Amino acid sequence: MPIYNKPFETMPRKELGALQLKRLQATIERIYASVPFYRTSFTKAGITPQDIKSLADLQRLPFTTKLDLRDNYPYDMFAVPMEDVVRIHASSGTTGKPTVVGYTQNDINTWAELMARSFSAAGATRFDILHNAFGYGLFTGGVGAHYGAEKLGMAVIPVSGGNTKRQITIMQDFKPTILCGTPSYILHLSEVAEEMGVDFKDLHFKAGIFGAEPWTENMRTEIESKLHLKAIDIYGLSEVMGPGVSIECHEEQKGLHVFEDHFMVEIIDPETLEVLPPGETGELVFTSLTKEAFPVIRYRTKDITSLNPAPCSCGRTHIRMNKPSGRSDDMLIIRGVNVFPSQIESVLMETREISPHYQLVVDRKNNLDTLTVKVEIDEKSFSDDIKSLQAMETRISNNIKEHHGVSARVMLVEPKTIERSQGKAVRVIDNRKF
């Protein structure tokens, strides 16, 4: 399969390191001069741009957090004057103000290139048609995928999220071959298709690029078997760029290649902030190397994963990050036990009789945390036999306890009673007051 930008994507590691250092030094020099936040934080750490002499010196730089971005709302982190900014996006803040990010024309061109590389890594070519069900708007998913697909030469159907029945009709009539969206919305799409009597086998998809929320290997198996396509994981966040920071190759589907000519990646221990060696699990941290309008230095993503430096059969030399297992701020602590929603999802997906739609409800009763796992029963296994349903609830609850050490009450609910997402799924409802 062709690699979109072979010289950069297969660059020997030594050469790549030299390129990274040159780009890192230029970035540090630029933001030291143009962003008061960075100049102040570097000065506090006793660092000037001249101190960055090797890639190891990156570790001397202070971290940047979402809170820093919020404190500089909306434009104070921008490193160029407003007349050079051609696009603004904002991340959906669940609490407080959103995070605002900007792009110059060069930034947009880079982003389009990295998304074109991503589509190519998923096996797409200019002969493909993209059904883009990522939301268009302030969210970076829709527009980000759109520009990259056009750059690769694909025909883009900018359908966005929602209006699901119409999407199925478009799939039948326009014959798209590549699908984009959040995994939870894609599952909803497949459910609506089933209701309409449409089998994905009769549609024309060969691959799908899914992301913007963590999803498990079991969810991948489910999507691949229901939609009859190869499901590829994509990663990105607006603070770092948007989708296309890293992507799985369709050859291996095992870890996402980080586009290291544009981003440096580290894994840190979120408690001690120490950089961890490859293979160890911790928080993912990114530094941008080419961004003009909104450079980020050691940005703490809160996403939990590990890095895999092993060579890949696809020929790309860029390091792979494993599929994020969750976000450190999504982590639930139930009576002192740490558990990620994705870990519960894994157990649920191993149970044949239930559907992949679930919600975790956390409450505090008499000062004790309780976790209720609401999960829909499969249409086919739905019965009025209360006894067998109760037995199934107990079995799933035991499995969760056995695998992850957390006590959960499992509640089977009727098919299609958990609200479907049009974008990112709401997996956790935490009613505890802190």
189 binds Zn ion (CB under 5 A): no
Owner of token pair 């119409």: 166
Least distance to Zn ion, CB of residue 319, Å: 11
Owner of token pair 């669940």: 94
- Taking each helix axis from N to C terminus, what angle separates 183-195 and 164-174, rounded to the nearest 10 degrees? 80
Residues 228, 84: Cα–Cα separation, whole Å:
44
Task: Candidates 178-186, 197-205, 246-254, 331-339: pick the segment binding Zn ion (CB under 5 A).
Answer: 246-254
Residues 328, 331: Cα–Cα separation, whole Å:
5
Nearer to Zn ion, 176 or 211 (CB): 211
Least distance to Zn ion, CB of residue 318, Å: 8
- 163 in Cβ contact with 213 (< 8 Å): no
Nearer to Zn ion, 107 or 248 (CB): 248
Least distance to Zn ion, CB of residue 211, Å: 17
Nearer to Zn ion, 314 or 361 (CB): 314
Show the tokens assigned to 303. Answer: 């996403």
Least distance to Zn ion, CB of residue 257, Å: 6
Least distance to Zn ion, CB of residue 149, Å: 20
DSSP conformation letters of 16-69: HHHHHHHHHHHHHHHHHHH-HHHHHHHHHTT--GGG--SGGGGGGSPPB-HHHH
249 binds Zn ion (CB under 5 A): yes
Least distance to Zn ion, CB of residue 250, Å: 9
Nearer to Zn ion, 120 or 342 (CB): 120
- 235 in Cβ contact with 211 (< 8 Å): yes
Nearer to Zn ion, 99 or 305 (CB): 305
241 binds Zn ion (CB under 5 A): no
Least distance to Zn ion, CB of residue 48, Å: 38
25-34: b (≥16 Cβ within 10 Å) or e: bebbebbbee
Nearer to Zn ion, 314 or 389 (CB): 314
- Which x/- pattern, by CB under 5 A, does the window 307-326 give for Zn ion? -----x-x-x----------
Residues 269, 271: Cα–Cα separation, whole Å:
5
Task: Candidates 87-95, 191-199, 205-213, 250-258: pick the segment binding Zn ion (CB under 5 A).
Answer: 250-258
Task: State the alpha helices, DSSP H only, in 264-385.
Answer: 341-349
Nearer to Zn ion, 285 or 319 (CB): 319
Q: Given the rule CB under 5 A, which residues bind Zn ion?
A: 249, 252, 312, 314, 316
